Amino acid sequence: MNTRKILLVTSDKDLSGIVKISALTLTKLNCQVSIEETSDFDEIFKKSNEENLDMIIADADHDSLNIPELIKKIRTGNVPSLKKIMTVYSGEIIRDEYFKAGCDSIMSKDEFKRVVNNILQH
């Protein structure tokens, strides 16, 4: 069985908990999902270049990171287009800024919480 590896970039404990619980639930249902979480810019960039990483979920509300800049740096790295990058947010954001940086999809945290199982599986 193949394990999906997902990098979670957030400082939101609730979001982190929901993603980890969903991954655990899916694993119990025989869908292997591995979640790695970090908020260190250099570590995020290093992990984003790992060959077996399937997806990056970035929280636009992160306390100390400029997510569009992070996405730009990832997209100009060694494997710029192979990783799916999703941004989640609460409140208001300028969506074009994230898409121009190279984000594949953007959704509110409320939307994300409703469909997290589906996102982690695909």
Instruction: Please report the DSSP string for 58-112 in residue order.
Output: EETT-SS--HHHHHHHHHTSSSTTTSEEEEEESS---HHHHHHHT-SEEEEHHHH
Residue 1 reports pLDDT greater than 60:
no
At CA 91, angle to CA 106 and CA 34, rounded to 5? 45
Residue 122 reports pLDDT greater than 80:
no
Q: Which pLDDT score is estimated for 30?
A: 83
Q: Which pLDDT score is estimated for 86?
A: 97
On whether the CB atoms of residues 45 and 75 are closer than 8 A, the answer is no
Average pLDDT over the chain, rounded to an integer: 90
Q: Which pLDDT score is estimated for 80?
A: 55
Which CATH number covers residue 113?
Answer: 3.40.50.2300
The total of structural domains in the chain comes to 1
On whether the CB atoms of residues 120 and 34 are closer than 8 A, the answer is no
Spatial separation of the C-alpha atoms in residues 68 and 87, rounded to whole Å = 9
Residue 19 reports pLDDT greater than 60:
yes
On whether the CB atoms of residues 58 and 86 are closer than 8 A, the answer is yes
Model confidence band, residue 81 (pLDDT cutoffs 50, 70, 90): low
Model confidence band, residue 79 (pLDDT cutoffs 50, 70, 90): low
Q: Residue 113 corresponds to which amino acid?
A: K
| Residue bearing the bigger pLDDT, 79 or 59 | 59
9-18, 24-33, 83-92, 105-114: the lowest-pLDDT one:
24-33
Range of the domain at 60: 4-121
- Burial degree of 41 (CB within 10 A; 0-12, 13-18, 19+): middle
For the stretch 87-112, pLDDT in tens is 999 988 999 999 999 999 999 999 99
